Amino acid sequence: MTRRPALTNRRTKRKRQRSQADTREDGHIAAEEDSQAKKAKWDRATEPDTKETGTEREFSTPEPAHICLSATCSGGKLGAAFFDPAISTIFLVEDTVESTHFDFSTMLFEQTKPDLIIAPSRADERFLTVCRDYMEESGGIFQVRPHREFIPDKGRDKMLSLSLFTSISPAVAVSTRSELSQSPVPRNAYDFMKKRQLRVVDPALERRHASIKMASYGDDNSPLCISAVGALLDYLSRSRAVTDLEHEGVNSLEITSIEILTLDKVMQINADALSSLQIFEDEGHASVHSDKSKEGLSLFGVLNFTKTTLGKALLRQWCLRPSLSREVIAARHDAVACFLRGENMMLAETMHIQLKGLRDVPRSLSIIRAGKAGTREWQAMVKFAYHISIVMEVVSDLSHCYDVPIIQTLLSSVDVSKLKQMGTAINETIDWETSESERRTSVRQHVDEELDDLKRVYYGLDNLLSKAALQVKKSVPSSWAPSLNVLYFPQLGYLICVPLREEWTERSDFEVIDGWAYQFSSEDSAYFKSREMLDLDEHVGDLHTCIAVTLLLSEIEILHQLQEAVLLFEPDILLACDLCAELDCLLSFATASRVYDYCRPVMVEENVIDIKKGRRVIHPLVEQWADLFVPNDAYILGGCGVHARTEGKSSDVVDADSPTHTDEGAASVLICTGANACGKSVYLKQNALIPFMAQIGCFVPAESARLGIVDKIFTRLQTRESVTKIQSAFMIDLAQVSLALRNATPRSLIVLDEFGKGTVASDGAGLFCGVLHYLLHLRSPSGNDSGTPKVLVATHFHEVFSNGLLEPSLPISYVHMEAMLSNESGQLLGMDGVTTAMKNQLSATTSNGNQGAGRIEIHYLYRVAKGLSLNSHATKCALLYGIPRSIVDRAELVSDLISRHELAKLLDEDMTEKEAADLMEAEAVCRAFVAWDLGDDSSMEVKRRLGETLTIL
């Protein structure tokens, strides 16, 4: 086979015109002349071929032996994916909010260090600029691809085509590969297409399996991320097709895994965790005619005391991406502590009030830069200069603040004199009253002499017309026109305007004054020309219009000069805006900490969560009206699995009487049991939210807290079902847990609430034990120590503990939520889950209670104690929530009989009295027959004895 350069050139020219589905055979096709060859390869290495086209660079598709990153940014959100060929893994960056400075994009580029970046043509222009600038500095390649390659539906289809998802079972996969390997090498196009169409598995079943499996690899509600993955796979497929004639598209790509990218500086928390922990909560507008939403009862809503638009946006970014840097966290905590000092509280309140006067200055600045500024934008800049000067004066008066980074940055970086100079220049240039009355930006007097002269002439024309009207009035009888006026109309000149008389409306011709000529009339006025008006037309003419145009051009020129002068301060303005936004967030944290009585956490290097008297976070108002709010402790130490180096661990680590916790007896897994509705879920959430709050820079709702850095948070708290998903509720739960198991590190936090409840109890309990066993046996990346993350678990699988399904030697902490049990008379029966004797007493009372001797009532204490609770008290919870007493009594009877393996009594309940008597007679016959010895009896004796037996009936 020889080269065909003509065909190669035609394919290269058609490359940009084909759709995404037709790009599998892109590039140069050549083959070596070898009868033994199995594949067609290039005869030369492929190198990036650059060609200048206008201002953009277009590159040929290079060999995918380097890191390629696909990213898109639209509507203030960023989604990305990149491929690491060293480990054949695709890393996902789920949709996240991007800042106006594209800090997250820069952080992503710096960590991944891509050799090539591809982005859609319709992405944000500033994002494309950031990508282009970074790749020029790093010497990489940047490509702008057509927007049609970045479509979420196409990206999802390409992901479903990966062999990572399409393989249903190992047996099927092996049989498929063996058949394909034994098939002859395709010698022509017919054999090639026949081999591609050889399928063993039903395509519909394969696609369904792929959809289910893909749900455990990321958030399906990230369209930008999915579209970026689709473009990345399309690029890898094209690159592979260049060197491999047998390449079969996306399905043949060697992708071994898909993982969520973890950035070094921010916490990884996906949309499921954000929703489960109620970080954000969007509520629809009360009006059905509005599509707007507001923040509901959420952590963001609780902490949001910000006064500026920039501050609110920055606080949302902090909640989406908590910091992993102890220095950054400590700096924010120092600022909040400074603002909470007694001598600084009034000053902090003053600063917060002054920040309220700041508008969206970057937006106003962009409008000024575009030359479209109105009075509103200029006023925003003046107010910014005024309020920032007051804020800086208050900042300088703060005490014990010289070691606070944000204060030092404000004092050293913000040049108040420049901002005051800018505000003064604007205020001295613009006439605010005239601008408001004329609804346009007007320049003050004494700014430009020529402009003042033009204004003097312009406004003097009104006096000239008034004098002309008085002169004409002298020659007009009052009976003919009681009043008149002289007006100027462009193109028509000067006209006399008199009120329209009633008789003039009935006649087409009427008497006019000598020398006057009728021009036209309106509904209530008539217009005439006279000799005086002709003189004004000749000597004054269109002076009014000329002056107005000249006046407007002069003001535009002055405002343009003002615009250039203001833009010189743009770097200082933007820096001050960023610092004020951060200051607004920190002041908001200080306000929330003061209102809700939060304390400063101690951030340590140790991988620990040590909380003393932690309280609920999402519902701080509960503390205001509740008669009694019960705080609880928690202690978890990451990396304390089976392979941990420390010895002597105990399962009882929560001691409410000890003032502090030690690492002796620590564990990474904490299992909380207890009755239904006793507060287990709230306990799990508050222990996950307290580290989250600490790492965004806020104080926490606890008496004290010693916290290590948490790099990732995974949750299985709620199931987000939808008719658009093919997964069942249990499969969605499995996807969430699968994501956690694949991506967890020793510093991660996993929260599991009732995992396994969506299926058969035995299967659910087995999965529950399997997950805990897997996590406890994880090893660190070095392989020398335990890699167990911090795990918070709540469950009702009591058979796991009663049947010994979890080895007692496993390093697990067992706690339960206390509940007090009493009878109907109010006599205390004991505490749930304390002693074996109490369990026996409760069982006896329960069995008697079914006959009405005494029913047990439950009282929740919401207090954490050591040990297990092996009764969920579901029937008592049902009674509290309005289930009829008859149903509850029946449920308790059935539960008791099942526990004592006496199911026959349930069958006896449905028999009538006659049926019961017949059953007793039949039982007597059976007993007599069984007692009969047939060994030595003759046939006649057998008949006699059988007759006697049957006569019992």
| Interval 507-540: pLDDT, tens | 666 777 878 888 888 888 888 888 888 887 776 6
Share of the chain above pLDDT 90, in %: 25
Segments in 795-873 forming alpha helices (H): 799-802, 836-849
- pLDDT at residue number 650: 39
704 vs 190: which has the higher pLDDT: 704
Band (651; pLDDT cuts 50, 70, 90): very low
Supply angle C-alpha 904, 906, 908, rounded to 5: 75
The 3-class secondary structure across 180-210, one letter per residue, is HHHCCCCCCHHHHHHHHCCCCCCHHHHHHHH
Residue closest to 319 by CA, chosen among 303, 335, 342, 307: 303
For the whole model, what pTM was predicted? 0.72
Most confidently predicted of 21-35, 237-251, 654-668, 811-825 = 811-825
Q: Check residue 323 and report its DSSP letter.
A: B
What's the Cα-to-Cα distance from 341 to each of 338, 350, 696, rounded to whole Å?
5, 14, 21
What is the average pLDDT score of the chain? 77
- pLDDT at residue number 694: 96
- pLDDT at residue number 697: 95
| Cβ–Cβ under 8 Å, residues 676 and 234 | no
| Cβ–Cβ under 8 Å, residues 362 and 418 | no
Contact residues for 282 (Cβ-Cβ < 8 A; gap 6+) = 293, 294, 295, 296
End-to-end Cα distance, the chain: 101
Longest dimension (CA), the chain: 161
| Interval 897-952: pLDDT, tens | 877 777 777 766 667 778 778 888 888 878 877 777 766 666 667 777 777 766 65
Across 31-43, average pLDDT: 34
Query: Is 857's pLDDT higher than 70?
Result: yes
Q: Check residue 94 and report its DSSP letter.
A: E
DSSP string, 561-618: HHHHHHHTTHHHHHHHHHHHHHHHHHHHHHHHHHHHT-B--EE-SSSEEEEEEE--SS
Instruction: Decide: helix, strand or coil at residue 211.
Output: helix
- pLDDT at residue number 518: 84
Instruction: Decide: helix, strand or coil at residue 650.
Output: coil
Across 691-699, average pLDDT: 95
Residue closest to 332 by CA, chosen among 356, 350, 354, 314: 314
Band (213; pLDDT cuts 50, 70, 90): low
Residue closest to 279 by CA, chosen among 250, 315, 248, 237: 315
728 vs 245: which has the higher pLDDT: 728
The 3-class secondary structure across 462-488, one letter per residue, is HHHHHHHHHHHHCCCCCCCCCCCEEEE
Supply angle C-alpha 183, 186, 189, rounded to 5: 135
At 447, phi and psi to the nearest 5?
-90, -40
Query: Is 636's pLDDT higher than 90?
Result: yes
| Interval 567-584: pLDDT, tens | 999 999 999 999 999 999
940 vs 280: which has the higher pLDDT: 280
Band (598; pLDDT cuts 50, 70, 90): very high
Q: Is the dihedral of CA 696, 697, 700, 704 positive or negative?
A: positive
Band (69; pLDDT cuts 50, 70, 90): very high
Query: Is 615's pLDDT higher than 70?
Result: yes
Residue closest to 791 by CA, chosen among 755, 834, 832, 833: 755
Calpha distance 655→106 (Å, rounded):
46
Segments in 341-374 forming alpha helices (H): 345-355, 361-369
What's the Cα-to-Cα distance from 572 to each of 74, 396, 424, 426, rounded to whole Å?
27, 19, 16, 16
For 32-57, give one letter per residue: b (16+ CB within 10 A) or e: eeeeeeeeebbeeebeeeeeeeeeeb
Supply angle C-alpha 888, 892, 898, rounded to 5: 145
Residue closest to 855 by CA, chosen among 827, 883, 831: 827
Across 720-730, average pLDDT: 68
At 806, phi and psi to the nearest 5?
-105, 125
| Interval 249-264: pLDDT, tens | 666 677 777 888 878 7
Query: Is 652's pLDDT higher than 50?
Result: no
Residue closest to 295 by CA, chosen among 309, 278, 311, 307: 278
| Interval 350-390: pLDDT, tens | 999 999 888 788 888 889 988 888 889 999 999 999 999 99
Band (349; pLDDT cuts 50, 70, 90): very high
Q: What is the CA radius of gyration of the chain?
A: 41
Band (659; pLDDT cuts 50, 70, 90): very low
Supply angle C-alpha 49, 51, 55, rounded to 5: 140
